[in-house]
């Protein structure tokens, strides 16, 4: 998702997490999480398309900063960043948006397989399972803008 109000040179700038970048990112969706839409208290900056950071060696030992690297560093730009709440950012992790969407779409199936209390709560009507498509907050905003 791109914001037409943000100049192209800003969209293409390498993400370093500066105060100015973080302020622009927070404002991108009005201080809300791109995924669940909650009001952001503490904002996480999430790569919409993941940038994998290699920070450890094959044995799990932390690499010196000079030896750390990114896989797909071309994705580490402002236009690929989304404001996120901690839970959404941590849960999304290194998944692409579509991988994460698919996993969330199967959440009730996954939980139902492992948690008998969930199945019972569904049977008693305490939990309603929504089998509809997973639509993120930024997509709802984008679609509403396109309708206007």
- What is the average per-residue pLDDT within 60-86? 91
pLDDT higher than threshold 90 for residue 119: no
- What is the average per-residue pLDDT within 11-16? 88
- 50 part of a folded domain: yes
**Average pLDDT across the chain, whole number:** 89
pLDDT higher than threshold 70 for residue 1: no
- 3 part of a folded domain: no
Say what the pLDDT of residue 9 is.
67
- 1 part of a folded domain: no
Domain encompassing residue 48: 8-147
- What is the average per-residue pLDDT within 44-60? 90
- What is the average per-residue pLDDT within 52-65? 88
- 62 part of a folded domain: yes
- What is the average per-residue pLDDT within 102-125? 88
- 29 part of a folded domain: yes
Count: domains in the chain: 1
- 68 part of a folded domain: yes
- 2 part of a folded domain: no
Say what the pLDDT of residue 2 is.
46
Closest alpha carbon to 29 in 109, 85, 93: 85
Q: What are phi and psi of 96, to 5 degrees?
A: -70, 165
């Amino acid at each position: 998702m791109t914001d037409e109000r943000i100049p192209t040179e800003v969209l293409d700038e390498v993400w370093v997490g500066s105060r100015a970048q973080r302020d622009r990112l927070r404002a991108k969706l009005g201080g809300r999480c791109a995924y669940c839409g909650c009001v952001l208290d503490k904002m996480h900056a999430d790569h919409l398309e993941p940038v994998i950071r290699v920070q450890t060696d094959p044995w799990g030992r932390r690499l010196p900063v000079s030896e750390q690297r990114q896989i797909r560093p071309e994705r580490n730009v402002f236009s690929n960043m989304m404001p996120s709440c901690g839970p959404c950012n941590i849960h999304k992790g290194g998944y692409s948006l579509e991988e994460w969407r698919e996993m969330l779409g199967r959440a009730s199936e996954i939980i139902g397989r492992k948690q008998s209390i969930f199945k019972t709560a569904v049977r008693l009507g305490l939990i309603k399972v929504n089998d509809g498509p997973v639509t993120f907050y930024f997509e709802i905003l984008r679609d509403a803008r396109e309708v206007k």
